[in-house]
């Protein structure tokens, strides 16, 4: 999502509010850049931002609202969640940089044509919000390793597996010297 900011450039203190609802397709970044968030996003992304021009660049602050749907890490049931994430990034004006300064992080600068591209900021905020492992509830019992039944829904009769896997059973008879 690119936003023209020519009305704000070279006007420190100037502000603008941006409110939008975007589909995943409108946030034009390759799926490979999104990692697990590409499959997790479930619905539109609500954007509510305030753009404020500073001497060194443009401060973008606000909130992103979106929903995710991820499989439970134990029973594979879909877990739906709503997220409301605060974002804050400074888009550097490259004309103000010292020639000896380090490069600006890719995606966080005002482009020469007087626009900012918010895709990298959206992606970073959303990807950082997606949990590494999702559980439908803390005491999820998971799937039965014998028949694959969801233990949260019904008992399959196999009980809890506490025995040794038969493939590893011969190792119990192995005697090792101490030390």
Report, in angstroms and rounded to the nearest whole number, the Rg of the chain calculated over CA atoms.
25
Return left, alpha or beta for 22; rule: phi > 0 is left, psi -120 to 50 is alpha, else beta: beta
Under the banding of pLDDT at 50, 70 and 90, the label for residue 56 is confident
**Residue % of the chain over a pLDDT of 70:** 84
Which residue bears the tokens 């404020």? 52
**Residue % of the chain over a pLDDT of 90:** 38
pTM of the complete model: 0.73
């Amino acid at each position: 999502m690119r936003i023209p900011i020519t009305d704000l450039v070279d006007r420190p203190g100037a502000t603008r509010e941006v409110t939008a609802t975007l589909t995943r397709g409108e946030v034009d970044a390759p799926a490979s850049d999104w990692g697990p968030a590409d499959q997790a996003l479930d619905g539109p992304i609500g954007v509510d931002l305030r753009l404020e021009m500073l001497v060194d660049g443009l401060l973008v602050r606000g909130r992103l609202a979106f929903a995710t749907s991820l499989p439970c890490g134990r029973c594979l049931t879909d877990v739906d969640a709503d997220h409301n994430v605060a974002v804050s990034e400074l888009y550097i004006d490259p004309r103000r940089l010292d020639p000896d300064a380090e490069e600006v992080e890719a995606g966080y600068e005002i482009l020469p044509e007087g626009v900012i591209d918010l895709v990298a900021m959206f992606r970073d905020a959303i990807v950082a919000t997606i949990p590494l492992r999702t559980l439908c509830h803390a005491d999820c019992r998971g799937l039965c390793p014998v028949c694959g039944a969801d233990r949260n829904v019904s008992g399959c009769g196999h009980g809890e597996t506490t025995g040794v896997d038969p493939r590893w059973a011969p190792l119990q008879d192995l005697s090792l010297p101490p030390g």
